[in-house]
Amino acid sequence: MINFASIFTSIITSFVISKAIQWLAPKPELPDFTQDADAQGVLVNKQSNNANIPVIYGKRLVGGTRVFLETSGADNQYLYGALVLCEGEINAITKIKVDDADVTFDGAFADGSQITSDDTRFGDTITIQPFYGTDGQSASGLLTTLTNWTSDHKLSGLCYIAFRIKWDADKYSNIPKIQAEVEGKKVQTINSDLTINPATYSTNPVFCLMDYLTNTRYGKGINLGDLDVQSFYDASQIAINKSYPTQVVEQSIFLIVMQSLIQVKKL
């Protein structure tokens, strides 16, 4: 039976040993740019058909991987594309940025719904259709107008943005960079009676860790029955501070939250 304490101890021990090796091993003095480079890499738009797909827990601003680009219309005035953000199913997309500017739209972000920009900088030149990454999601109606994107192109289980951008030389000088603020992966949570809830949005790091350990697609694929669920529930409560302010009703405030993007290839 795998309990939370043993996993946490293993993580901390591995971290301490790796740091100790770094301290002891001689190395040339180089600028420490790894963390900044990784952070920048999370925000850029990459072009690939075999890049690793990250997992987002909590809320993060991210770029993505362009897996499809095509022009259409008179004089190729429209650029169509699909930008994969992360593994699904996520909870929501709360913001879209284009070329580092927040963009306003004529409607709310919703899974599978098309909305068009209504923006002082970009006007109505941007149409997007976000998909939150359910296993049963349908193909994009925005992209299936093209011959090279069919009803079989569903990107099942992946959160992505289908987009169409109308060329305007006053607004764009190149393929625009698109970023999204994502409320990430829905995860299972545990009740006090140790029953398991259906997946929902949570920033509790214990439930996020449990998701990674049990997920068969990007995680370790451990059977939930092999985990000491009681220890995971107990640990999840440590992340919550029970406070009793002037209100009569007890409030729960998270002391520790998960706001992370995990590059699975690095685990």
> What confidence score (pLDDT) does residue 223 get?
96
Indicate the pTM of the whole model. Answer: 0.82
Q: What residue ranges of the chain have pLDDT lower than 70? A: 4-40, 241-261, 264-267
Tally of CB atoms within 10 A around 244: 9
Tell me the C-alpha distance between 142 and 128, whole Å: 8
H/E stretch holding 101: strand 101-102
Question: Per DSSP, what are the bridge partners of residue 90?
Answer: 185
Environment class of 36 (CB within 10 Å of its CB; exposed 0-12, middle 13-18, buried 19+): exposed
What's the chain's length in residues?
267
Burial class (CB in 10 A: 0-12, 13-18, 19+), 201: middle
pLDDT given for residue 241 in this prediction: 62
Dihedrals phi, psi of 75, to nearest 5 degrees? 55, 30
Q: Mapping DSSP to helix (H, G, I), strand (E, B) and coil, where does residue 74 land? A: helix
pLDDT for 6 = 65
| Residue 227 DSSP one-character state | B
Q: What is the pLDDT of residues 230-263, one digit of tens each?
A: 999 999 998 776 554 545 444 444 445 566 667 7
